[in-house]
Amino acid sequence: MKNEIKIILKHKAVFSLGITVVFALYNGFLGISRLSLWYGSFCVFYLLLAAVRGTVLLTEKKLQVKNEKEKFARKAYIAGSVIMVILSLSLALPVSLAVIMKRPVDIGITPAIAMAAYTTYKVTSVCVRLKKQRRAEKNSLSRLLGTINVTDALVSVLMLQNTLITAMGENEKMLTLSAVTSGVIYGVILVICVCNVVTKKNFGE
């Protein structure tokens, strides 16, 4: 039963990786077409996210055939955790743009719908994965992958919030709320990513 759950989670993780890459390219397209630093910075974030998720998935596959599993898993975990810290630091730019009200204001309805769909998928995916992962065999890499998914969902909420406020019209109270919640979400993400580096994990299967 546990093995079946692990296989399902891996397949979903690969699918999620593909979705992340597509969303990164979409943000890159918006950044170039609209000359928007906001979208460009999120493109960088999602490319880094895809990189660390891909690293974890590739490592889990190699662990099945590698003899020195513990040593190899430790290196992969540290590398992934460091990328996560860089990833969280890359969010400082878009969060700052949200705080100082320098987001794009003429986004149209299509980006808003795309971000709403992405956020819905990511939040649902995290909830489902957390429920299934309780019954699956846990290791440090699966926990790192879970952290990646939670970070992804939090950032998608941050993007959707700011996008909807922009699309529906801005007012002073909503802008203040957006700035505060964006800062809180960023703080949570930063704490999660730093904890991955400083927390010791068991690397064996």
pLDDT-based confidence at residue 112 (cuts at 50, 70, 90): confident
Closest by alpha carbon to 187, among 146, 135, 149, 151?
151
Q: What is the pLDDT of residues 61-87, one digit of tens each?
A: 777 655 556 667 777 788 888 888 888
Determine the Cα–Cα distance for residues 94 and 77; give it in Å rounded to an integer. 27
Q: Which long-range contacts (CB under 8 A, 24 or more apart) does 103-111 make?
A: 103/38, 103/162, 103/166, 104/34, 104/36, 104/38, 104/39, 104/166, 105/166, 105/170, 106/34, 107/30, 107/34, 107/163, 107/166, 107/167, 108/167, 109/167, 111/30, 111/163
pTM of the predicted model, to two decimals?
Answer: 0.77
Tokens of 142: 């699966």
Question: Greater confidence, 11 or 88?
Answer: 88
pLDDT at 200: 55
